Amino acid sequence: MGKNVLKFGGKSGILPKTKPIFKAPIRPKLEYELAKDKNAEQGYKNVPIPKIKGFNKNDQSNKFLPVSELIQRIQYPNKSLAEINKIENKNERDFLKRAYFRADFLKESFIEEEKRIQEIDVLKQRIYKNQLQKDEQMRLEHVKETSSNSLLNTLPNLTSALTNGMIEPISNEEKELISKQKKLNRNLTNLNEKSKKLEKLLKLYHSASNFIINEEQLEDAIYKAFEVNLHEYEKKKSLIESKLQGKESQQILFDKNDLNIKDYIMGEINGKPGLEQIKDQLNGKKEEYKRQAKVNDM
């Protein structure tokens, strides 16, 4: 068991909940959602839920924003892709092409996410209807057992456990829903692993500037290693003496912490571009930030 497992209740292999693509509902509430809202219990018995600053906690409005309206709000460039390819200025052409492809990718993402939500809604609706049938069947059986006034028939025994089983079986819809969730968790795990590998490769790339790759660099390194520089020697000697006396150790620690904080905030690796900065450069966000900054300065 890992050292951070206790934060998640002693369970390992659990990923955090994924952030939804749609911030608002894209369809009206279904039957199982309305039933869940209806059975939700809030506050105290026989005490009305108060209204705070005009906000009613019991407000169960069925507002939604369809995907078709979201797609209409996507801002494409004013020119078509064919017109963009004819632009002679390379920077402007690349910027408009990236904006066009981002808008097109966002549209496809909305459509795919809508299909995925529809599939999950169908599964959850089936599970809800099956649960209603089970509850109704259990209610009828309970009425039948209580009407017979037979206590022995209501007690669990070995025969009922062998015939009916002690664990309720999982339906096909629930299995399919679990399979989709596992697939999503697996994709997130693979994405995190690939991001870590890219960060390690980037650190190795930045460290390669100090590697010795030819004979001239080797001779220079040997010369510097055996050269006696009195000024450098005196400087290092005084630094070691001050460290032993504890004068500058705290300042060195502060400087190191400042560098680590700067790397974390700026997304850098030892003062050099990190993975997030490279992503922003490739997807055009960095150039978009520069344009927005110029507009704000005007």
pLDDT of residue 267: 66
Has residue 2 got a pLDDT over 60? no
The dihedrals phi and psi of 43, each to the nearest 5 degrees, come to 70, -155
Q: Round to whole Å and give the CA distance between 176 and 184.
A: 12
> How many C-beta neighbours within 10 Å does residue 96 have?
20
Name the more confident of 8 and 186.
186
Q: Report the alpha-carbon distance of residue 122 to residue 112 in Å, rounded.
A: 16
User: Among 12-21, 113-122, 226-235, which range has the highest average pLDDT?
Assistant: 113-122
Mean pLDDT of 87-92: 86
Using one digit for the tens of pLDDT, what is the confidence trace for 32-47? 888 877 776 666 777 7
The pLDDT-based confidence of 7 (bands split at 50, 70, 90) is low
Mean pLDDT calculated for residue range 226-249: 64
Q: Looking at 149-269, list the stretches that DSSP marks H as alpha helix, in order from N- to C-terminal side.
A: 151-154, 158-164, 172-207, 215-226, 230-245, 249-266
Against a cut of 0.75, is the pTM above it? no
Q: Where are the domains of the chain?
A: 62-156, 171-213
Between 240 and 66, whose confidence is greater? 66
Residue-wise pLDDT tens digits, 131-153: 999 989 988 888 777 766 555 55
Query: What is the mean predicted confidence (pLDDT) over 10-28?
Result: 78
Quick check: 297 pLDDT over 70? no
Buried b (16+ CB within 10 A) or exposed e, 282-295: eebeeeeeeeeeee
Instruction: State the distance between the two ends of the chain, measured CA to CA, in whole angstroms.
Output: 56
Average pLDDT over residues 19-26: 83
Confidence of residue 248 (pLDDT cuts 50, 70, 90): low
Percent over 70 (pLDDT), the chain: 61
Q: pLDDT band at 20, cuts 50/70/90?
A: confident
Chain length of the chain: 298
Average pLDDT over residues 96-104: 89
Find where tokens 């922003």 sit: 280
Q: For residue 171, what pLDDT is reported? A: 84
pLDDT of residue 276: 72
Q: What is the pLDDT of residues 198-231, one digit of tens each?
A: 888 887 877 777 777 778 877 777 777 666 566 6
Q: What local confidence, expressed as pLDDT, does residue 5 receive?
A: 58
- pLDDT at position 283, please? 67
CA quadruple 107, 112, 113, 119: dihedral, nearest 10: 150
Q: Which residue has the higher pLDDT, 184 or 13?
A: 184
Question: Which DSSP state fits 7?
Answer: G
Range scoring the smallest mean pLDDT among 81-90, 183-192, 210-219 = 210-219
The token duo for 79 is 């020119």
Q: Which of the four pLDDT bands, split at 50, 70 and 90, describes residue 84?
A: confident
Q: Which residue has the tokens 């078709």?
A: 68
Angle between helix axes 172-207 and 90-148 (nearest 10 degrees) is: 150
Contacts of 252 (CB under 8 A, 6+ apart): 243
CA distances to 52, 72, 109, 283 from 279, in Å? 44, 28, 19, 6
Higher pLDDT, 109 or 276: 109
